């Protein structure tokens, strides 16, 4: 068997066991059914965990291929995988907030397994908060869709969510916490908005992680008085973008103040960075009593155009920490690169392939996709066997192709057998060619 063994709790079996425990506690909105709700939720998670390109594709394999049914049992503990219609119906009734516990459990495993060691920056965890759209259609919609009414009478229906992801400027992995849906609540007529979602999300993050030292990084939309006061009330540090157009008063103050300091650094690659900073500047006219620390960096790479990055923070800026603060702010972009684009590029795309539902389905699927992504990231950070299998497959897409073909073709006793086979080319014992047509 493989020389590299799977790590207990931080490997797929340990993580999925924890997730299943949470799913089993969720009250079943549809009473009296033969299959338990946890089997439906685990099936939904398996769709995204194994990166099936669509729900019908998962359904076809789970129904016609006995090997796949066996493997779903051994890998995900699914006693009897439901068909796609039943899966959609049942998950449509699940309140998405009920899935948050699973994120918390996986995060607790990550912490206990020391997977967050070395993940601090400026003595805090960087929490990148950013919104993303995950569904948009002029035709398909549900009662939770936000609506945009166009002048020509057409309507665009859409769903968005606000992601909260731990990032680090120098690490590949990112760890999403449970996202916050931006959609219509029960009986609401008006669209929800990102600012309201941010209030709910940050308050919940603080409730769930009361002692986590967090430094929140967000874009310039967040640089307003009410939001900064909210962050302060939740004991969260911040680095937020600012723009000359939106924060003209602040920029004028910095330009006019004698105390504004400047310095310049050139790194080994010839990149010149000119810094300008001022501690204790009023955010704007309306929030004159709210003082922030301003930091700007003009970056010139050899042969490239100069770029300018401006931020406000509640960390006192010095020459010694200016670069780290700038990098913290720029790590915000990793959320886009790693969390939302990566899933689509690597085969998680779900906009039209998994169904929309009438109530919660679209949001439940978005949560399950994010949870599958978190589980992958924890394994990527902590499980050497997973890392070896990923490295062997060279590209993420090839890796997921290999995972699916093994799951369709061989009876696998466990995850160790699956990853071991991909990493070291060892054929699983008792190989069986699948009998599906
Ligand atoms: Zn909808």
pLDDT tens figures, 175-225 = 999 999 988 777 677 777 888 899 999 999 999 999 999 999 999 999 999
Smallest CA-to-CA distance from 1 within 399, 427, 432 is with 427
The model's confidence at residue 37, banded by pLDDT at 50, 70 and 90, is very high
Distance CA 86, CA 68 (A): 18
Taking the centre of ligand 1 as the mean of its atom positions, its distance from the CA of residue 136, in whole angstroms, is: 9
Q: Which residue has the tokens 């937020």?
A: 240
Distance CA 218, CA 216 (A): 7
| Residues lying with their CB under 5 A of ligand 1, a single-atom ion | 142, 144-145, 362
pLDDT tens figures, 226-238 = 999 999 999 999 9
Taking the centre of ligand 1 as the mean of its atom positions, its distance from the CA of residue 86, in whole angstroms, is: 19
Token pair of 253, please? 């103050």
SS3 state at 291:
strand
Could you tell me if 378 and 10 are in contact, meaning their C-beta atoms sit under 8 angstroms apart?
A: yes
Distance CA 339, CA 371 (A): 11
Smallest CA-to-CA distance from 405 within 421, 381, 416 is with 421
Taking the centre of ligand 1 as the mean of its atom positions, its distance from the CA of residue 160, in whole angstroms, is: 10
Taking the centre of ligand 1 as the mean of its atom positions, its distance from the CA of residue 376, in whole angstroms, is: 27
Taking the centre of ligand 1 as the mean of its atom positions, its distance from the CA of residue 83, in whole angstroms, is: 22
Taking the centre of ligand 1 as the mean of its atom positions, its distance from the CA of residue 42, in whole angstroms, is: 22
Provide the residue ranges of all domains of the chain, joining segments of one domain with +.
Answer: 12-99+347-424, 240-322
Taking the centre of ligand 1 as the mean of its atom positions, its distance from the CA of residue 130, in whole angstroms, is: 20
Taking the centre of ligand 1 as the mean of its atom positions, its distance from the CA of residue 358, in whole angstroms, is: 7
Q: Name the more confident of 138 and 292.
A: 292
Could you tell me if 374 and 175 are in contact, meaning their C-beta atoms sit under 8 angstroms apart?
A: yes
Taking the centre of ligand 1 as the mean of its atom positions, its distance from the CA of residue 129, in whole angstroms, is: 23
Taking the centre of ligand 1 as the mean of its atom positions, its distance from the CA of residue 340, in whole angstroms, is: 19
pLDDT tens figures, 129-162 = 988 887 888 888 898 998 999 999 999 988 888 9
The model's confidence at residue 409, banded by pLDDT at 50, 70 and 90, is very high
Could you tell me if 68 and 62 are in contact, meaning their C-beta atoms sit under 8 angstroms apart?
A: yes
Taking the centre of ligand 1 as the mean of its atom positions, its distance from the CA of residue 354, in whole angstroms, is: 13
Smallest CA-to-CA distance from 94 within 188, 184, 27 is with 27
CA angle 149, 92, 59 (to 5 degrees): 115
Smallest CA-to-CA distance from 72 within 86, 84, 58, 54 is with 58
The model's confidence at residue 435, banded by pLDDT at 50, 70 and 90, is very low
Taking the centre of ligand 1 as the mean of its atom positions, its distance from the CA of residue 357, in whole angstroms, is: 7
Token pair of 114, please? 């020391």
Whole-number pLDDT of residue 430: 53
Taking the centre of ligand 1 as the mean of its atom positions, its distance from the CA of residue 140, in whole angstroms, is: 7
The model's confidence at residue 426, banded by pLDDT at 50, 70 and 90, is low
Could you tell me if 106 and 6 are in contact, meaning their C-beta atoms sit under 8 angstroms apart?
A: no
The model's confidence at residue 344, banded by pLDDT at 50, 70 and 90, is very low
CA angle 224, 230, 236 (to 5 degrees): 105
Taking the centre of ligand 1 as the mean of its atom positions, its distance from the CA of residue 331, in whole angstroms, is: 31
Taking the centre of ligand 1 as the mean of its atom positions, its distance from the CA of residue 352, in whole angstroms, is: 12
**C-alpha pair distances (Å), 152 with each of 138, 147, 155:** 13, 14, 9
Q: How many CA atoms lie within 13 A of 79 on its CB side?
A: 7
Smallest CA-to-CA distance from 198 within 157, 236, 245, 146 is with 236
> Which letter does DSSP use for residue 247 in this model?
-
Could you tell me if 21 and 38 are in contact, meaning their C-beta atoms sit under 8 angstroms apart?
A: no
Burial zone of 326 (CB within 10 Å; 0-12 exposed, 13-18 middle, 19+ buried): buried
Taking the centre of ligand 1 as the mean of its atom positions, its distance from the CA of residue 158, in whole angstroms, is: 6
Point out the least confidently predicted range of 85-99, 126-140, 331-345.
Answer: 331-345
Distance CA 430, CA 331 (A): 47
Taking the centre of ligand 1 as the mean of its atom positions, its distance from the CA of residue 135, in whole angstroms, is: 8
Taking the centre of ligand 1 as the mean of its atom positions, its distance from the CA of residue 143, in whole angstroms, is: 6
Taking the centre of ligand 1 as the mean of its atom positions, its distance from the CA of residue 141, in whole angstroms, is: 4
Could you tell me if 256 and 245 are in contact, meaning their C-beta atoms sit under 8 angstroms apart?
A: no
Taking the centre of ligand 1 as the mean of its atom positions, its distance from the CA of residue 145, in whole angstroms, is: 4
Taking the centre of ligand 1 as the mean of its atom positions, its distance from the CA of residue 60, in whole angstroms, is: 25
Taking the centre of ligand 1 as the mean of its atom positions, its distance from the CA of residue 300, in whole angstroms, is: 44
Taking the centre of ligand 1 as the mean of its atom positions, its distance from the CA of residue 87, in whole angstroms, is: 17
């Amino acid at each position: 068997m493989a020389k590299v063994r799977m790590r207990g709790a931080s490997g797929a079996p340990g993580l999925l066991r924890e997730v299943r425990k949470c799913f089993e506690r969720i009250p079943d909105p549809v009473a009296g059914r033969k299959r338990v709700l946890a089997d439906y939720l685990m099936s939904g998670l398996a769709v995204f965990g194994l990166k099936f390109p669509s729900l019908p594709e998962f359904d076809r394999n789970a129904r016609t291929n006995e090997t796949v049914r066996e493997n779903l049992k051994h890998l995900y503990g699914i006693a009897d995988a439901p068909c796609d219609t039943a899966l959609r119906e049942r998950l449509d009734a699940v309140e998405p907030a009920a899935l948050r516990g699973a994120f918390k459990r996986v995060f607790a495993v990550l912490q206990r397994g020391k997977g967050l060691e070395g993940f601090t920056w400026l003595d805090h965890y960087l929490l990148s908060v950013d919104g993303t759209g995950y569904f948009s259609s002029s035709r398909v919609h549900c009662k939770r869709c936000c609506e945009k009414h166009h002048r020509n009478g057409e309507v665009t229906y859409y769903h968005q969510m606000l992601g909260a992801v731990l990032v680090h400027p120098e690490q590949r992995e990112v760890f999403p916490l449970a996202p916050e849906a931006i959609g219509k609540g029960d009986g609401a007529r008006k669209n929800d908005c990102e600012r309201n979602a941010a209030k709910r999300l940050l308050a919940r993050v603080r409730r769930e992680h009361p002692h986590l030292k967090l430094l929140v990084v967000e874009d310039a939309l967040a640089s307003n008085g009410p939001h900064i006061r909210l962050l302060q009330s939740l004991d969260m540090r911040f680095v937020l973008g600012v723009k000359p157009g939106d924060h003209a008063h602040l920029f004028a103050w910095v330009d006019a103040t004698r105390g504004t300091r400047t310095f310049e650094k050139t790194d080994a690659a010839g990149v010149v960075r000119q810094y300008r900073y001022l501690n204790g500047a009023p955010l704007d006219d309306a929030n004159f009593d709210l003082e922030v620390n301003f930091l700007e960096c003009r970056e010139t790479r050899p042969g490239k155009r100069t770029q300018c990055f401006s931020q406000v923070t509640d960390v006192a800026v010095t020459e010694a920490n200016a670069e780290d603060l700038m990098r913290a702010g720029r790590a915000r972009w990793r959320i886009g690169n790693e969390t939302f684009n990566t899933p689509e590029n690597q085969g998680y795309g779900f906009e039209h392939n998994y169904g929309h539902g009438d109530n919660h389905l679209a949001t439940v699927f978005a949560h399950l996709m994010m949870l599958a992504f978190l589980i992958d990231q924890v394994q990527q950070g902590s499980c050497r066997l997973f890392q070896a299998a990923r490295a062997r497959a060279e590209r993420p897409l090839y890796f997921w192709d290999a995972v699916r073909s093994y799951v369709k073709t061989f009876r696998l006793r466990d995850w160790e057998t699956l990853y071991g086979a991909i990493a070291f080319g060892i054929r699983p014992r008792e190989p069986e060619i699948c009998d599906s047509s």
